[in-house]
A and B are shown apart, each in its own frame.
Chain A
Amino acid sequence: MRRTGAIALIVMGVALLLAGYLLAAPWGASTVADSDPAVVGAPTLFIIGIVSLLSSALFYELLPDGR
């Protein structure tokens, strides 16, 4: 449970980091006016990804034994 939960948080974190990074890129933009992220709010996904990665350490260490 402990290991599985921590790994799940790490995988989710990495996925969110990648999603945030890719969705924030202005793919195909040719002018400065089009330089906003492809998906507005995508940088927040990137940040949640970092939080998720860090949460894995807390989860792994803080989950009580034998539950």
Chain B
Amino acid sequence: MSVETRVEQKLPQGVGRLTPGWLVFFAVSFVVFVIGIGAYSYQLSNGLIVTGMRSTGTMGGATWGLYVVMVEYFIGVSLAGVVLAAFVEVFNIGALRPVSRLAVLLTIASLSTGVLGVLLDLGSPFRGFVNMLLYVRPQSAFFGTFMLVAVGVLMTSLVYLYLGGRRDAATIAGTPSGLRWFHKLWAAGYRDTEPERERHRRVMFWLSIGLVPLVIVALSTEGLVFGIQVGRPGWYGSLQGPDFIVLAAASGLANLVVLTAIIRRAVGARIPLGHAVFKWLGSLLLAATAASLYFQTVKTFTLLYATPGNERLIADALLRGPYAWIFWSSLVLMVVAMILLVSQAATGAWSVPAVVAASVAISTAAVAERYLTVIPSQTHGMLLPYEPGSYFPTWVEFAVVGGLFALGAILIGGFVKVFPIINLNSNRREVRTDA
């Protein structure tokens, strides 16, 4: 039974219809979000001392903690969504067209939380933001991790979402509802004439062409932030950039699979999210996970063959030291996910629950991988003769990160109630007449 609102029921995909399940989901997300805000207020008034972060070396801690781990994870997740949508547009992949809006929305939600995560990690976020506008150097990798991601990729994704939704907005703006003003505003006079469609195809094509290199450059710099630090054993290396990209692709696709399954269940069988979509996503996920495992293996073997010294110290910490349980758990999760995906690819029988299970495993492993990238090199990667340190997040960090997840959930959950999440015209084959 659903709670009726003033909004007309005729709107597609449950838009404007607040079901009890959605209300519970929204209420829980909102409570977690408020707890996160409370925890952050506590951090802001007492300083970063309330977190588990401490100076490396002298205080035996890590200056980049859970916030940076989650920034890496969230920004990584954002990669797959918008790149997938761009590929759908450029190569006209009809089977994936139904999930392209959801993919872009995932990118926007994860980028928003990732960018916020950067600010939360600063003692004085406002001062940091203003100084960045005044003094940051575009030549710096740190510029890429914030400005290129926040301004470039996030804004492009918003433009992509907006322009991509105009046709559907115009379609449902004709349906009387309490959201009609919003849909009319979004449509901005779109009448679905042939010249308008032609222009839209042209704009989306070139936007897609420009978007992919922008995303790759912006996200590679996330890896470069670690890869170019000569004085930090475990970080310095040319594989950090590509490794970041492939794990980002795997974690992003994994999140997209889970979201697609949730939407499929919530909205029902009236939407075109059949097995073909999961087969495509599962195959892409398999390729990205295999590439990620390959990079992990190469990096681990390189560490194992390192000469006795700081690199070796990190290898020991990862393989049989304090981080071993995270390392081996993430490896097991990735291998289990690979087995699930390979077995389905081999038989050609793709099962939605199995792809979702593999995705959950990969997503969890990705968080662990990001943790292992950020933390051990700070606690065990000193060139100076300090004793190995340790880091464990406090309740404040867990609460703030929970708030970030809740914010992402609110963004996505809120969107699906005001706009169709699946393209209304996704079954219609687009005939491209331009380049």
Residues of A within 8 A of B (CB): 20-21, 24-26, 35-37, 40-41, 43-44, 46-47, 50-51, 53-54, 57-58, 60-62, 64-65
Known: A57-B163, A57-B203, A65-B195. A43 touches B156 (CB 8 A): no
Query: Are B159 and A58 interface neighbours, CB within 8 A?
Result: yes
What's the Cα separation between A54 and B48 when bound, in Å? 37
Q: Is the interface of A mostly helix, strand, loop or mixed?
A: helix
Query: Are A60 and B135 interface neighbours, CB within 8 A?
Result: no
Number of A-B pairs, beta carbon distance below 8 Å? 67
Contacts of A43 in B (CB 8 A): 132-138, 143, 147
Residues of B within 8 A of A (CB): 132-139, 143, 147, 151-152, 155-156, 159, 162-163, 166, 188-189, 193, 195-196, 199-200, 202-203, 206-207, 210
How far does the Cβ of B310 sit from chain A's closest Cβ, in whole Å?
Answer: 25
Query: Are B138 and A46 interface neighbours, CB within 8 A?
Result: yes
Query: Are B195 and A36 interface neighbours, CB within 8 A?
Result: no
Contacts of A41 in B (CB 8 A): 133-134
Query: Are A50 and B151 interface neighbours, CB within 8 A?
Result: yes
Contacts of B152 in A (CB 8 A): 50
What's the Cα separation between A6 and B415 when bound, in Å? 30
Quick one: which of A25, A54, A61 contacts B137, CB cutoff 8 A? Answer: A25
Quick one: which of A21, A54, A60 contacts B199, CB cutoff 8 A? Answer: A60
Contacts of B199 in A (CB 8 A): 60-61
Contacts of B151 in A (CB 8 A): 47, 50-51
What's the Cα separation between A20 and B136 when bound, in Å? 11
Which of A21, A40, A46, A51 is packed against the most chain B CB atoms within 10 Å? A46
Residue of A nearest to B137 (CB): A24
18 contacts between A and B (CB under 8 A): A20-B138, A24-B139, A25-B139, A43-B136, A43-B137, A43-B143, A43-B147, A44-B133, A46-B138, A46-B147, A47-B133, A50-B151, A50-B152, A57-B163, A58-B162, A62-B189, A65-B195, A65-B196
Known: A44-B133, A62-B188. A24 touches B138 (CB 8 A): yes
Query: Are A54 and B155 interface neighbours, CB within 8 A?
Result: yes
Residue of A nearest to B153 (CB): A50
Query: Are A57 and B147 interface neighbours, CB within 8 A?
Result: no
How far does the Cβ of A59 sit from chain B's closest Cβ, in whole Å?
Answer: 10
Contacts of B159 in A (CB 8 A): 54, 57-58
Query: Are B155 and A21 interface neighbours, CB within 8 A?
Result: no
**A21-B139, A62-B188, A65-B195 known; 5 other A-B pairs, CB under 8 Å?**
A40-B135, A54-B155, A57-B206, A61-B163, A62-B189
How far does the Cβ of B17 sit from chain A's closest Cβ, in whole Å?
Answer: 30
